[in-house]
């Protein structure tokens, strides 16, 4: 993978395009959060106008992963509301795709450049084990199984949305209770031998690079030290680990000061500099 290190930006500071160029969807606006320069894989926000509909049956040349942040989306007669999730592998036929009367804002991940095809007979066969056409996470139980004890102070829980059948990636929700702070005031930093991606749906997380608030996003390549996490109001995160179905952590030997008000020192490519400003507590995407 060849995506730039981003930790972290606030999507509120990115402008909506007049019409999507990357996703190439007529009348849909987008905010591109990150793109892989080699594969064309990308993560972005798509804003569908009220009543939007894709013309005719179609399929996408890339896997498409969606998490609805607000509004309503509908695929093949299934209604996606806030926090509903889907993973549509390359070739999955969309007999119908559209937005509801209020439109929709959808966090979307593509595995490559998402060219749309209308030649249904040419669609590749989809592995049923790879498809999550529609999922309502509200029906899943929160789970603390195998939660790393180093983050015990966050009182964190997980809901797995998807485990790749070939072990090549996991998507999950991670939530933590308010007032999460280590009793010692310090925590070791950690790193992973795999990529890690996050969009902060709600809440806050002060960390070693500043305060992430609702709408925050990071793409973390392998072996990047990070951490010193805490939370005032609790948090709800959309998380992905491309390349693995299990988070693997290496922890530093020494502790790092944990603060509810850490200095703001994010990292991102120069073209995203405007998105690196801190965010006021109540600003929304």
Q: Which pLDDT tens digit goes with each residue over 154-170?
A: 999 999 999 999 999 99
3-state secondary structure of 275: helix
% pLDDT > 70, the chain: 98
Fold match between domain 15-139 and domain 149-269 = yes
Q: Which pLDDT tens digit goes with each residue over 198-238?
A: 999 999 999 999 999 999 999 999 999 999 999 999 999 99
Instruction: Give CA–CA dist 74/68, Å, rounded.
Output: 11
Q: Which pLDDT tens digit goes with each residue over 19-38?
A: 888 988 889 999 999 999 99
Instruction: Give CA–CA dist 223/268, Å, rounded.
Output: 16
Q: What is the pLDDT of residue 147?
A: 92
Show the tokens assigned to 9.
Answer: 């930006």
State the first-to-last Cα distance of the chain, in angstroms, to the nearest integer: 27
Q: Which pLDDT tens digit goes with each residue over 112-155?
A: 999 999 999 999 999 999 999 999 999 999 999 989 999 999 99
Q: Is the pLDDT of residue 191 over 90?
A: yes
User: Mean pLDDT of all residues in the chain?
Assistant: 95
% pLDDT > 90, the chain: 91
Instruction: Give CA–CA dist 125/89, Å, rounded.
Output: 10
Q: What is the pLDDT of residue 240?
A: 98
Buried b / exposed e across 19-57, counting CB within 10 Å, b at 16+? ebebbebeebbbbbbbbbeeebbbbbbbbbeeebebeeb
Provide the residue ranges of all domains of the chain, joining segments of one domain with +: 15-139, 149-269
CATH number of 15-139: 2.60.120.10
Q: What is the pLDDT of residue 244?
A: 96
**Residue of 153, 142, 118 lying closest to 229 (CA atoms):** 153
Q: Which fold has domain 149-269?
A: Jelly Rolls (2.60.120)
């Amino acid at each position: 993978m060849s995506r730039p290190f981003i930790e972290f930006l606030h999507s509120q500071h990115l402008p909506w395009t007049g019409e999507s160029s990357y996703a190439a969807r007529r009348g849909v606006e987008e905010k591109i959060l990150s793109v892989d320069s080699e594969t064309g894989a990308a993560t972005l926000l798509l804003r569908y106008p009220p009543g939007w509909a894709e013309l005719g049956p179609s399929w996408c040349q890339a896997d498409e992963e969606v998490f609805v942040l607000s509004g309503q989306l509908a695929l093949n007669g299934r209604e996606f509301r806030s926090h509903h999730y889907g993973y549509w592998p390359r070739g999955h036929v969309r007999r119908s795709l559209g937005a509801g009367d209020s439109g929709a804002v959808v966090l979307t991940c593509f595995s490559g450049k998402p060219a749309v095809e209308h030649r249904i007979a040419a669609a590749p066969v989809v592995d049923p084990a790879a498809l999550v056409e529609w999922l309502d996470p509200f029906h899943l139980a929160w789970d603390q199984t195998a939660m790393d004890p180093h983050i015990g102070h966050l009182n964190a829980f997980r809901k797995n949305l998807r485990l790749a059948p070939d072990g090549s990636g996991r998507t999950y929700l991670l939530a933590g209770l308010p007032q999460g702070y280590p009793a010692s005031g310090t925590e070791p930093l950690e790193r992973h031998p795999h990529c890690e991606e996050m969009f902060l749906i709600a809440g806050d997380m002060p960390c070693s690079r500043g305060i992430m608030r609702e709408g925050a996003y990071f793409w973390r390549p392998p072996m990047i030290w990070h951490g010193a996490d805490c939370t005032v109001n609790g948090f709800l995160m959309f998380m992905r680990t491309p390349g693995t179905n299990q988070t693997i952590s290496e922890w530093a030997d020494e502790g790092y000061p944990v603060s509810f008000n850490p200095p703001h020192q994010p990292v991102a490519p120069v073209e995203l500099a405007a998105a690196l400003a801190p965010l006021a507590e109540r600003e929304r995407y």
